[in-house]
Amino acid sequence: MGVKKFINDVIDSLKIESFELKGKKKSLKTLLCKLKKRRVKVLKELRVEENEKKIAALKEESELINFHIKNGKEKLNELKKS
């Protein structure tokens, strides 16, 4: 039996999650948290901003944040299932 296969078997039998996967989940959660905070900030700024150009830029940023949060959540769920 190869060393890699042996290690994988041990990980499977002991149900130890790989460090890489764990690290990825943690990173995703951290980034999602930062993005959510930023969304709150952008929405607050949008409420008070009057300059049309800045409003357009803030709306664009909010849109991008939403897409990133959506993508991040999808990936997180995928990782949780695997």
Partner 1 sequence: MYNKVILPVILIALAYGFWSSSNFKEISSGVAIFLFGMLSLEQGFKSFTGGLLDKILKNSTDKLYKSVAFGIVSTSLMQSSSLVSVLTISFLGAGLIGLSQGIGIIFGANLGTTTGAWLVAAYGLKVDIAAYAMPMLVFGIVFIFQKSASLKGVGYILTGLGFLFLGIHYMKEGFEAFKSAIDLSTYAIGGYKGLFIFMLIGVFATVVMQSSHATLVLIITALAAGQISYENALALAIGANVGTTITAIIGAMSSNIEGKRLAAAHLIFNLVTALIAIAFIYQIIYLVELVAGFFDIAHENYTLKLAIFHTIFNTIGIVVMLPFISQLVAFLEKALKPKVSVDEIGYDNVLYLNDSVLEFSQSAIAAIMKETKHLYENAFEIIAHGLNLKRRKIASDVDLEVVLKNHYSKKYVDIEDFYQKRIKNIYGEIISFSAKAQSMIMSPQNIAELYKLKLASRDLVEAIKDTKHLQKNLIKYSTHPNAYIQEQYSNMRMNLAELLRDVNTIATTDEEEKTLLLLSKVRLHTQQHDITSNGVLDNLIRNKLITNEMATSLMNDTVYAYNIHTKLCNMAEVLFVQRGGDLRTVEQDMHISHEDIAQILEKKD
Minimum gap (Å) between residue 62 Cβ and partner 1 = 10
Distance CA 28, CA 36 (A): 12
Find the binder of partner 1 among 3, 14, 19, 48 (CB under 8 A): 3
Under the binding rule (CB under 8 A), the answer on residue 67 touching partner 1 is yes
Alpha helices in the chain (DSSP H): 3-14, 19-48, 52-81
Residues 8-37 close enough to bind partner 1 by CB under 8 A: 23-24, 26-28, 30-31, 34-35
Distance CA 55, CA 47 (A): 9
Find the binder of partner 1 among 45, 46, 49, 75 (CB under 8 A): 75
Q: What is the dihedral of CA 7, 9, 10, 13, to 10 degrees?
A: 160
Binding site for partner 1 (CB under 8 A): 3, 23-24, 26-28, 30-31, 34-35, 38, 60-61, 63-65, 67-68, 71-72, 75
